[in-house]
Structure 1
Amino acid sequence: MVETIRLGVAVMGNIASVSLYAAPITTFRRVIRKKSTEEFSCIPYIIGLLNCLIFTWYGLPVVSNKWENFPLVTVNGVGIVLELSYVLIYFCYASSKGKAKVAMIAIPILLVFCITVTVSAFAFHDNEHRKLLVGSVGLCVSVAMYGSPLVAMGPSVIGIPLSILQLALHCKYRKRSVQESNKEDLEKGNLEKVELCELGNGGCGKECDNS
């Protein structure tokens, strides 16, 4: 009974995960149709690819105990195909600047995977430590994958408090500037008045003071 429940949950989890990885298909159909990436970010798909690679490696017998995590291999194997397709399509239709950005992000991501594989395979000699290392890396990558769409609003989030600060400083120093300007205008007006009196009365004196 327990094994049946476990199998059912695993199947439902696989279906949900594949649906998640397949969700951007409509977006990339539009990219192919318009032959343009429309300047949206490629970061979520590259991190998604790393996530699938890490958890596929986690499910293989090298890390896990035999095929105890075989469902991970199947779902993330499909994820690798889909995410890699998204990245390649993005690369094909991106501008020169966009292609350079893809390369700059993808190369370090693949290095992280290669380092994880190398260390887990050769530095550790038991499944428990291998699973701990690969699972920890996979956990961090998963958090990054689900948080990566926030890059679209990251500059706005940072810009809002900075804009508020800029407006506050502008209002504060603008008020002081207006007061100083009014003071200078008043002093200038008084000086001009004195000069006119001196010119008109040949030394003004008491009459100028009373005017």
Structure 2
Amino acid sequence: PTFKRIIRNQSTENFSGLPYIYALLNCLICTWYGTPLVSHDNVPVMTVNSIGAVFQITYIVTFIVYADKEKKMRMLGMLLGVFGLLAIIVAGSLQIADRATRWIFVGFLSCASLISMFASPLFI
């Protein structure tokens, strides 16, 4: 209903894009967690979260298209931050030689991102 309204009114009105940013971050970290470089036999986790990331990117792009200039710039900055943070997480976790330790580390980050995703509506 939110995006139908945004598209119909051609405005993001008072909606916040923050929950979609947190959801994208969560999906990307969980996708990384599901890759064979981090986990064994977690392809379903990788698949489901990569599909979720595509949905979140679609929502974010739609939000940006209909946002005013200030919100647009803020969302683009946060989107850049998400991809930057993911790059740091990937590069940092690949520095952990022991696969079990890498699995625990990325798993912990995945849990933290999930909590932030569920808590994000509280910050609006």
Q: Normalization by structure 1: what TM-score?
A: 0.56
Q: For 1:96-175, what aligned pairs fall within 5 Å after superposition? A: 96-121=69-94, 123-152=95-124
Task: Name the SS for the 1:117 alignment partner.
Answer: helix
Q: Is the counterpart of residue 87 in structure 1 residue 42 in structure 2?
A: no
For residue 151 of structure 1, what is the amino acid of its counterpart?
Answer: F
Structure 2 counterpart of 1:136, one-letter code: F
Q: Which residue of 2 aligns with 1:40?
A: 15
Q: Which amino acid aligns with 2:101?
A: H
The Cα shift of 1:70 comes to 1.6
* Matched pairs, number: 124
- Please name the residue that 2:2 is paired with: 27
CA distance in 1, matches of 2:7, 2:50: 24
Unaligned runs of 5+ in 1: 1-25, 153-211
* Bigger relative contact order (CA 8 A; separation at least 6): 2
SS of aligned partner of 1:36: coil
Q: Mean Cα displacement is larger for which, 128-137 or 46-55?
A: 128-137
Q: What's the CA shift for 1:130?
A: 1.3
SS of 1:84's partner is: helix
Shift of 1:101: 1.3
Provide the C-alpha distance between the structure 2 equivalents of 1:78 and 1:31, rounded to a whole number of angstroms: 23
Q: Measure how far apart 1:81 and its partner are.
A: 0.8
Flag the structure with larger Rg: 1
Q: Deviations over 1:92-151 (max 9, x none)?
A: 100001111112322222221110001112x11232111112111111111110000012
Mapped to 1, the partners of 2:37 and 2:62 lie a distance apart of 32
* Alpha-carbon distance in structure 2 between the residues aligned to 1:71 and 1:79: 12
